[in-house]
Structure 1
Amino acid sequence: MSADQGLAEVDGLVVGPVLGGPPTVDGVRLRIATGQVVAMMGRSGSGKSTTALTLLGHVRPGLALRAGTVRVARYDPFTPAGAAAVRHRHVAYLPQDASATLNPSRRLASQLGEAVADAARRGETQGGATVAHLLETVRLPADREFLRRYPHQISGGQAQRVAFAIALAADPDLLVLDEPTAGLDPVLARGVRDLISSLTGHRATLLISHDPDLVRSVSDEVVVLDGGRPAVTGPPGRVLAAPAPTGPGPAPGPADPVLAVRGLGTRHGRRTALADVDLDVAGGGCLAVVGPSGAGKSTLARCLVGLHSYDGAVLLDGVPLPATTRRRSPAQRRDLQLVAQDSAGALNPRETVGHALLRPLRQLRGLDPRAARAAAAELLDRVRLPAGAAGRRPGALSGGERQRVNLARALACRPRVLICDEVTSALDVATAGTVLALLAELRRDLGLAVVLITHDLAAVAGWTDDVMVLDAGTVVESGPTPAVLGSPRHEVTRTLLDAAGGR
C-alpha cells in the first residue's frame, strides 16, 4: 500500500513519562487504509491503548508525545484544529471499559438520541440512522422498556454494544475498537465479529484485541507490541500465537459448601432479573457461571456480596448472611470479595494503586503501616505487576493492569470466597493463563472458593469443577464441568459451545 492510501498513519511514535524514564511506546509504525482492518495485539500494558489514543490526539495523564508523527485524514490530531476535526468528524473510539462512556444518570434513549441528533446536525449520520436502526445494528432491542433503562440496569455486554451504537451514529471514517468482544458471550462475540466485517467496506478500523480467533477472522494485518515496541508485523495467519493455555483445575474440595445459595431471586424495576437460583461452592472449589449477555450473571455476583437486594438465602458455612453489605459484619464483608467486570469503575481515579491496596490491609486485616506496605508489595508481585505500579493512578494503567489491581485488592482481605466477574476478559492470553493458574494455586493452598463468571469456555473447561448456565435469570443447566460441556442438555449451552467453536 502506498503512503497516500493511508487514512490513518503513525510513524516512529514514541510516548513516555513526562518526567523522563523508559518510553511506554517506542518506535511504533501503523498505516491503515480505507476498507482495511489492522489489529494490534500484545501483553497487557504493552502500549496498545496508548498507541490507539494518539489517533485522537490524546495521551494519558503523566505521559507525553516525545517523537513521531500521527495523521488521520491528513490532519495532525495533536494540533487544536486537527483534534477538533478528527474527534468530531473522522474517528470513533470505543474504549475497553465501554460502560464508563455512558452517563449513569441518563436513560439509554436520551444518550442514543443525543448521538443521533448531534450527527444529524453535522450532516454525518450513518445513512440517516435512527436510534432503532443503530440498536438493530448492534443486536439490541429498541423497545420502550429497554430504552428507559439506565446504564446500571443493563449487563456489561449490553453496555458495550450501546457504546458501539453511539460510536457508529456519526458514520466515522476510522473506527478504533479497544477489546470490542471483552465480556461478551461467544454468541454475541461472533455477532460483533460479523458486525466489524460488515462495517469495513467504507472505513478503516484499528482493532485492539487479545482474541486470536477474532483477529484471525477480521483483520488484514497484525502488529504485535512487546514492551511498547513492534515485535512482529504481518498477516494474521503468520503472526498469531498459539491458543489460550488450559490446565486441569485442582481436585474438588470437601463436600460441605463454603458458599451456598438457596432460592435467590431479584428484580430490576418490574423485570425479573434472577429467579430461584441455587448453587454450592466447596472450599478449594471453582464454580463457573456462564450464559448469554444479560442473563443475570453480574446481578448474581452483586447479590452474593450484598450490593443488590434479593429474596432467598446466601449462606456462608451454613450461616445466612444479611441481604445488604451495610448489615453484614466486617468479617462477613471480608470473607466474600468481588472482582467486578468494570475494572475502571471499581477504582477511585484519584487514588494511587498503593492506597487502594493499603485500605483493606489496614481496615479489614488490621496491619500496621509497615506491614501493610510489605503486604501490598507482595500482592502486586503475586498478580504480576511491577512494584512501581503502587505509585500510579488507574488512568495510567491499561485495562488488564487495572483488572489485576482489583484482583490484588480483593486478595488483600484474605477472603474465603472470591467472586470473579469476567476477571480475564481484559487480559492477553498469557496473562489470563497466569491469573487462572494463580486462582488455582490459591484454591489449593488456602482452600479459597471461587465463583468464576466468564464467557471464556476454554477457561471453564480447563480450570473449573462445576458449571452453572443462566438464561434470562434462570438456571437452565448445571453440573460437573466435563458433563455439562461434554454432553450439554439445554439449547442455550449448545448454542454457546457452538459459537465458541465457530469463532
Structure 2
Amino acid sequence: MTGDATVRPSEEDPLAEIGGLSLGPAAGGPPVLHDAHLSVPLGGVLGLVGRSGSGKSSLAYSLVGHVRPGLEVRAGTVRVAGLDPFVRRNARALRGRVVSYLGQDPAASLNPALRIGTQLAEAVRLRSSATSGSQVRRRVDELLRSVRLPADPAFRRRLPRQVSGGQAQRMALAIALAGSPRLLVLDEPTSGLDTVLADGMRDLLAEVLSDGDRAALLVSHDPAWIASVADEVIRLEAGRIVGAGPPRASVPDPRPFASAPAAGPGAESARSAAPVGALSVRGLAAAHGRVPVLHDVSLTVPAGSCTAVVGPSGSGKTTLARCLAGLHRSARGSVEWREDGVERGRAAPVQLVAQDARGALNPRESVSAALLRPLRGVGRRSAGDASREAVRLLGLVGLDADVLARRPGELSGGQRQRVALARTLAAGPRVLVCDEITSALDPQTAGGVLDLLDSLRHTLGVTVVMVTHDLTAASGHAQRVVVLDAGRVVEAGAADRVLRTPEHPVTRALVAHAASAAPAVPDLRR
C-alpha cells in the first residue's frame, strides 16, 4: 500500500472504504482476492458471505492492515477513518480505538496464562480513558454484562481453558469493545453460540451501533443471521465479489427439522438396554479448578450411531467432549468403549475434533507433517502409502492436495477445521467426538462434512458424538439428542421426539429460536 492519508473524513464520508484491492501469494501465482470494492458508512452494517476459502477473512483482515503469511498486496487502496491501516503509525493509531477485529478463532486471541479479568482490565487500560482502579473495574463489569457473561469475581478469575467456546467468543468480543471502537470487524461472531445467544449478539450489535457513530463489517456463514442484522450483503466466490445487495429473509419453515438417517450397520437401537458395541458414560463429573462444570452425566452411544449433544453456551458441552476423549484430568466417573474384536495396542479408540482448529494444529508444522505423523505412527504405513492416504483424507474433507505444503496460518478458518478432521481420521478412531466442527464452514461445505460423517458411520462403523449448536444438523444426522444445561442432562431421547416435542424449558427455548430463524435469501445485485 502507498500513501498516508492525514485528513479525517467528513461525516458524509464512509468510515471504511476499499478500492480495487487484490491480494496474492508473495512467491507468485493467481490472486486469492481480486479487484475488491466495498464501503462501510457510519451506522451501517455490511455482511460478507461466501464459501470457505472464498476470501472473506482476507478482505476483513485488510481493514486492520493485515495480510495472511505468504500473501502480499498487489493493488488497491484501503482507508479507515481516512487513514491507510497498512502504514505502521496509522495502524497503531487505529487498532483497538478506531477499528477492532474479532477473529473466528476467539481462543487464539486470549492469553492462556492470564485470567479473564486480568486480560479485560489490560485491554481497558490500553484502549479506553479509564485510569483509576475503580474506573477500570466498572468498565470491566460493564463489558462482561454487555456480552452476557457473569461479572462476579469467580468468573473473572477463570483462565481461558476454563470457559466454553461460546464464552471465549464473547470474552474476545468484550476485549474488542474495550476501546469503544467506531468500526467492528467480526469474523464469524456467532460460530460458537447457540441460537439464543446468536439472537443476543444481534441485539447487542444493534445496541452498540444505535448512536449512528459506529459501523460493523460482519463475516458469517449463517445467511439467516446476516439477513437479520446487515443493511447490505456482499457475496464472494473464489476471491471475487460476485454480487451485492440488501438481504431479504424468506418465510420460516414451520417444520424445520428433518429425520436423521438410521444408524450404521451393526449398530443397535438407541433404545436398547445393552447394545453389543457402545460408548458408555456413567456418573461423569468434572470441574475447572474448584468450579464444578459437569454433574452426574450419563449417556450411551450405540456403535455406528450418532448422538448430538446440544445446550446453551457454557452448559458444559466442550468439557464433556474433552472428558470423552480422556483430555480432562479432573474428571470422575466412567467412560468406556465396549466392542468385540477391538485391537489392543492401537491409539485410543476415542478421538476429539476440537472446536478451536487453530489451537489444535501446530502453527509451525505443515499440513503434510500433521497428517503423516498419525498415518505412520498409528497405521504403521510406509512413506509412500502414508502420502497417498494423506491425499485421500484431504479429498474426503473437501480439500485439494496443494494444501499439504501450507501451514495453518496460510489457511482459512474453514480449511483449518477440515485439516483437523482429516488428521483425526488418520488415527483410525472407532469414536469421533466432534466439537462444533462445522461452526466455521459455509452451509454447503458443512453439509458435505456432515454427510462425510454419515458415510464413515455406515461404511466403517465409526461412532459419532456431535457437539453442536445447529439443531437442524442434529435433527438431520443424529439418532439421539442429549440436552445439557448447567452441566446436567436435562433431556435426552430420540432426535425426532426431543426436537419436535421438547419437554424441558431449555430445550423448548433452543427449538423455538431455531424454528424462528428464517432462512435468508440475500437479494444480491451488482
Length-normalised TM-score, structure 1: 0.93
In the alignment, which residue of structure 2 is the partner of 1:141?
A: 150
CA distance in 1 between counterparts of 2:451 and 2:315 reads 27
In the alignment, which residue of structure 2 is the partner of 1:44?
A: 52
| Mapping 1:60-459, distance limit 5 Å | 60-121=68-129, 130-201=139-210, 202-237=213-248, 248-252=259-263, 253-255=267-269, 256=275, 257-309=277-329, 310-317=331-338, 330-333=345-348, 335-459=349-473
Q: Any idea what SS the aligned residue of 1:5 has? A: coil
Q: What amino acid is the match of 1:33?
A: P
Change (3 A) 1:148 1:330: farther
Q: Any idea what SS the aligned residue of 1:279 has? A: strand
Q: What amino acid is the match of 1:316?
A: W
CA distance in 1 between counterparts of 2:333 and 2:28 reads 56
Change (3 A) 1:55 1:122: farther
Q: What amino acid is the match of 2:418?
A: R
Change (3 A) 1:184 1:229: same
Q: Any idea what SS the aligned residue of 1:130 has? A: helix
CA distance in 2 between counterparts of 1:57 and 1:220 reads 24
Give the deviation of 1:238 after TM superposition. 8.3
Q: Confirm or deny: 8 A CA contact 1:250 1:444 kept in the other structure.
A: no
CA distance in 2 between counterparts of 1:329 and 1:444 reads 23
Question: Structure 1: 5+ residue runs without aligned partners?
Answer: 322-327
Q: What amino acid is the match of 1:133?
A: E
Change (3 A) 1:239 1:221: farther
In the alignment, which residue of structure 1 is the partner of 2:64?
A: 56
In the alignment, which residue of structure 1 is the partner of 2:6?
A: none
CA distance in 1 between counterparts of 2:299 and 2:128 reads 50
Give the deviation of 1:173 after TM superposition. 0.9
Cα deviation per residue 1:92-130 (whole Å; 9 max; x = unaligned)? 10110011111110111111111111123589xxx9861
Q: Any idea what SS the aligned residue of 1:188 has? A: helix
In the alignment, which residue of structure 1 is the partner of 2:524?
A: none
CA distance in 1 between counterparts of 2:257 and 2:433 reads 20
Q: What amino acid is the match of 2:482?
A: M
CA distance in 2 between counterparts of 1:246 and 1:435 reads 18
Q: Confirm or deny: 8 A CA contact 1:330 1:364 kept in the other structure.
A: no
Q: Confirm or deny: 8 A CA contact 1:42 1:224 kept in the other structure.
A: yes
CA distance in 2 between counterparts of 1:341 and 1:330 reads 28
Q: Confirm or deny: 8 A CA contact 1:258 1:283 kept in the other structure.
A: yes
Q: What amino acid is the match of 2:298?
A: D
CA distance in 1 between counterparts of 2:344 and 2:129 reads 54
Q: Any idea what SS the aligned residue of 1:345 has? A: helix
Change (3 A) 1:58 1:329: farther
Q: What amino acid is the match of 1:315?
A: E
Q: Any idea what SS the aligned residue of 1:389 has? A: helix
Structure 1: which 4+ aligned runs deviate by more than 6 Å? none
Change (3 A) 1:291 1:400: same
CA distance in 1 between counterparts of 2:339 and 2:289 reads 30
Change (3 A) 1:143 1:68: same
CA distance in 2 between counterparts of 1:21 and 1:212 reads 31
Q: Confirm or deny: 8 A CA contact 1:260 1:318 kept in the other structure.
A: no
Tell me whether 1:6 sits opposite 2:27 in the alignment. no
Question: Structure 2: 5+ residue runs without aligned partners?
Answer: 1-9, 270-274, 518-526
Q: Confirm or deny: 8 A CA contact 2:49 2:221 kept in the other structure.
A: yes
Q: Any idea what SS the aligned residue of 1:26 has? A: strand
Give the deviation of 1:439 after TM superposition. 0.7
Cα deviation per residue 1:217-256 (whole Å; 9 max; x = unaligned)? 110000000000001111111899x99x986533122242
Give the deviation of 1:318 after TM superposition. 6.1
Q: Confirm or deny: 8 A CA contact 2:261 2:476 kept in the other structure.
A: no
Percent of pairs identical after alignment? 53
CA distance in 2 between counterparts of 1:332 and 1:291 reads 30
Q: Any idea what SS the aligned residue of 2:424 has? A: helix
Q: Any idea what SS the aligned residue of 2:221 has? A: coil
Q: What amino acid is the match of 2:221?
A: H
Change (3 A) 1:392 1:458: same
Cα deviation per residue 1:295-339 (whole Å; 9 max; x = unaligned)? 1111111111111132111111169x9xxxxxx975252x21110
Change (3 A) 1:222 1:443: same
Give the deviation of 1:181 after TM superposition. 0.4
CA distance in 2 between counterparts of 1:156 and 1:83 reads 29
CA distance in 2 between counterparts of 1:275 and 1:85 reads 48
Q: What amino acid is the match of 1:218?
A: V
Tell me whether 1:492 sits opposite 2:501 in the alignment. no
CA distance in 1 between counterparts of 2:424 and 2:345 reads 14
Cα deviation per residue 1:271-314 (whole Å; 9 max; x = unaligned)? 22111111111222100000111111111111111111321111
Which of 487, 491, 494 aligns to 1:480? It is: 494
Give the deviation of 1:415 after TM superposition. 1.1
Q: Confirm or deny: 8 A CA contact 1:249 1:440 kept in the other structure.
A: no
Q: What amino acid is the match of 2:492?
A: S
Q: What amino acid is the match of 1:415?
A: P
Q: How many residues align?
A: 489
Change (3 A) 1:445 1:496: same
Give the deviation of 1:352 after TM superposition. 0.5
